[in-house]
Chain A
C-alpha cells in the first residue's frame, strides 16, 4: 500500500483501531468528542459558530493532528478538550471522564504556541512548577526536572532563565513542563508555530522520539501540512465557518519509533502531503475519501 489507508473497512472493526465508531466504549479512549458545538456570543446579538457538531476520538498512544485554515476552530477544539473553555453543546470525555474531571485529575499535559514560561523562574524551576503546585516533594521534583531536562537535551541550561534561551529552547522547556507529571495525553496548540523551519523540523524529530518514549496520546494543532503528516497517525482536516471536520486521513508512515529524518524524503510522505493539501483545498469530492480522490 501507499502508506495511506481509509478509516476502517466497512463491516469489520479492527481490534484496537482508533476508529470513530459511534457508541464505542469511551473508557478505552484517550479523548472522545461527541457532537460538540461552540458558539461565541458576538456583539449586538450576532454570534460566531466556532465549532459545529464535531465528533472525534483519539485512542491511547495515538498521535492526531488537527489542521485547517485560520478560524476553523482547531484551537477552540483543543481548548475544549483541555477544559479551558466549555462547549455550547455536546460532550467531551477524556479517559472516560468528563473533561473537567480530567483537568482536575491532571490527566493531560499542555503546551501552547507561546512557551509561556515564568520569566522569574529558572528552566528547572519552570519544569517543577506543576509538580510544586500538586504537592510533590522537593527532592522528587528536582529529580523529575533533571530527568526531563535531559530528555529535551537542555542539561547545560537547567539554571538558566527563560530570557537567556532561544525560542526553540524555550519551547523545549515548555514541552518538558507539559510532560512533568507523565500524562497519558498531550495537548499541543501549535507549539512550533513561532519557530523557524530548521528548528521546527528538529523539534518534530524530538517530539516523535519523546512520544515513542512516553507512549502518550497527542492532540496536535498545526498550520503546517508536512508537520501534520510527519508526526501523525491520523490527520484531521477541518474547514471554517462553521468549524467542522471535513475529513480524516490515516497516515501510516511507520510506528513512532521507526520515524526518522529519511521519512521526509519518502515517496509515501510526499503522497500524504499532497493528499492532505487536496483535502484542505476542498478538492476531494463528497463521499470519496483519501486514496480515491483524483
Chain B
C-alpha cells in the first residue's frame, strides 16, 4: 500500500504490451497447434478407435457439420448459466452487505453458507427436477445460482472487511452516516474482491448448468447433447459438444474478466 514514488500515468502493463503480445498470443497458439497435431498423429498411427478417443480432425469435422446444433446447445446452456450467474451474484453481494452490516446475522449465516459450500450442488438437480417439473429449466438455473452464490458471498464479505483504519477514521470525522460510508469507502474497497468472486463464479455457473442437465430435464442443452451423442455411438459429435462447452466456459470467464478490468481499473491502488 505504500505509494511513495512518482509513477508517470499509464505506465506499467501498457508499456510491455507490444513486445509481450507476440509472446502471449503466438506462443500458446503454437503450443496448441503442436498438441493437436501430436494428438491426431497418435490417433492415426496407433489406429485408436473413435469410442476411445476420436482424432481432433474428426471432432472439428463434426463441429463444423453440426455448428447450428452446437450453437443452439451453447445458447440453451449459456442462458441457464447466465440467469444463474446473475441471480447468484445479486443474492451473494446483497447478503454479504447485510452480513457485514449486522454482525449477529453474519454469525448466524456463517454455518449455513459453509453448509451450502460443501453440498455437492449438482446432486440437488434430481430433487429440484421433481420440485419444478422435468420440463422447466428452473432447476438448472437454481443449481447454477447456488454454485455462484458461495464464492461471490465469501469474496464480497471479505472485501467488505478490507476498509483501512485511516478511511474509517476519516468517515467518522466527517460524521458520515453508515450508508454514506458504505457507498463512499466500503463498497469501492470491496469491488476488486467481488470481481474475484465473480470470475470464479462465471466458470462455475457454466459447469453447474451443464452438469445439471445430466440428471434429467428438457433436451437441447450441451450436457444432454453430449450424453445422447455418446449413447448413440456418435463420439465425434459428443466431443464437438464438449468443445462447445469449453468455448462457452471461456466466453463466460473472459466476459467476467473484461468487466472486472473495466470497473476496477483504479481500485485498490
B3 and A163 contact, CB distance less than 8 A = yes
A167 to B2, CA, bound (A): 9
In the complex, how many residue pairs between chain A and chain B have their CB atoms under 8 Å apart?
Answer: 69
Q: Which residue of A lies closest to B8 (CB)?
A: A164
The answer, yes or no, to whether B18 is at the interface (CB within 8 Å) is: no
Query: Which residues of chain B have C-beta atoms less than 8 A from A110's C-beta?
Result: 169-170, 173
B268 and A119 contact, CB distance less than 8 A = yes
We find that the number of chain B residues with CB closer than 8 angstroms to chain A is: 25
B188 and A118 contact, CB distance less than 8 A = yes
B4 and A167 contact, CB distance less than 8 A = yes
The answer, yes or no, to whether B111 is at the interface (CB within 8 Å) is: no
B3 and A118 contact, CB distance less than 8 A = no
Contact of B166 among A83, A116, A134, A165 (CB under 8 A): A116
A116 and B9 contact, CB distance less than 8 A = no
Within B232-269, the residues touching A (CB, 8 Å) are 266-269
Query: Which residues of chain B have C-beta atoms less than 8 A from A118's C-beta?
Result: 167, 184-185, 188
The answer, yes or no, to whether A106 is at the interface (CB within 8 Å) is: yes
Decide if the interface of chain B is mainly helix, strand, loop or mixed. Answer: loop
A82 to B5, CA, bound (A): 30
B169 and A84 contact, CB distance less than 8 A = yes
Within A32-55, the residues touching B (CB, 8 Å) are none
The answer, yes or no, to whether A130 is at the interface (CB within 8 Å) is: yes
B269 and A166 contact, CB distance less than 8 A = no
Per-position contact with B for A75-109: 1 when CB-CB < 8 Å, else 0? 00001001110000000000000000001101010
**Cβ of A204 to closest chain B Cβ, rounded Å:** 19
A200 to B99, CA, bound (A): 43
Contact of A166 among B5, B170, B172, B174 (CB under 8 A): B5
The answer, yes or no, to whether A68 is at the interface (CB within 8 Å) is: no
Give the one of A164, A166, A194 with max B CB within 10 A.
A164
Q: A118-B167, A166-B6 are in contact. Are A82 and B175 (CB under 8 A)?
A: no
Q: A82-B173, A119-B266, A119-B268 are in contact. Are A112 and B166 (CB under 8 A)?
A: yes
B175 and A120 contact, CB distance less than 8 A = no
Binding site for B on A (CB under 8 A): 79, 82-84, 103-104, 106, 108, 110, 112, 114, 116, 118-120, 129-130, 132-134, 160-167, 169-170, 194
- 4 tightest Cβ-Cβ pairs between the two chains A and B: A119-B269, A116-B166, A163-B269, A120-B266
22 A-B pairs whose Cβ atoms sit less than 8 Å apart in the complex: A84-B173, A103-B175, A106-B175, A110-B170, A110-B173, A112-B169, A112-B170, A118-B167, A118-B184, A118-B188, A119-B269, A129-B184, A133-B176, A133-B180, A133-B184, A161-B266, A163-B3, A164-B6, A165-B6, A169-B6, A170-B3, A194-B4
